[in-house]
Structure 1
């Protein structure tokens, strides 16, 4: 169950996408990346993954694991974030060549998840170690700095999820919603409500807020 987890828009986009597939594509999920990217909530990676693994498109989906492997073996960088996304995609296509893009995609994903890991890569077990540019230049660390992750309770996703969960029980006044959120969210409640309304998830009359379509 997704309610309360902060993934409300994913559910809405999934519903919209299902409707579009049913009405515009005769109930058949498209397998062309360009068509998939026109569907709500479908970005580059998801489109490439569906096209690669469900269709026969000559494309390799580049996730975090695949990006890391390509960045190290081809570009001599520690992380996928150190290389431009378009260059990673070009590298993936070059690696696949005339081989099965599906098999290459799965192999790169497995390699990144089990051998060429973010921490403690098992280079001696890597089939690409002889060709690895990162290994050849002495394993330089990433040039990209990372910031500590924000505690989930302080994020807008947490607050939006808490609001939707409360409205799923019954309509609420703005004052009631305010009591459900940690203090640091108080001055952002109006922006949360505006965003949820713009997404089509909630509606209200200025005082009472309810889920869209809830007449209770």
Structure 2
């Protein structure tokens, strides 16, 4: 495999009892690229991200991340990942700062206290750093969860609906963070129902439907939102 390839999936399927969540998925993504995954509920987006996060094993096919097999060498992949799912994995009785410092120790982040302060500033939670997370709104918890994901400077970010609960100002902050990560050659895969925001931030896009990739375009900048909305509607229907 070329050292430039971060993700490769070949013939990947996932079956739960009689339901096929993924059916014959092939995908390649180079380092430093941002891929947007779009699709209706039940299309298989979260299943795909969970397989990439080594949280779920495929039923068949091969998944390779950073040159490692995602099934046989998952322990070599996990430290390279930053995963944002539907749960925040934050501790409500700890403050925002304590949460980040806890995860910093868990990941062996050098200068964890300074790194935590930097990220709290990046997500706009400086003034709330000593507040217990149980008092936070959903949007504030989402911002802190994003900071948690970035703590150890992962090579590959897997973001499942990252805009959930964010107001417009927080969305702008997230967009800036994603821009900085791409400038730093990080690889990003995100799923979102927000077609306009996803199209604006991603280099490449795909649409999933019923477990299959039904549309893929490697130059998202070629598309305008009106045209993409029509494409999406046609392929999802």
TM-score (norm 1): 0.25
Bigger fraction of residues in helix: 1
State the structure with bigger RCO (CA 8 A, min sep 6), 1 or 2. Answer: 2
Bigger fraction of residues in strand: 2
TM-score (norm 2): 0.23
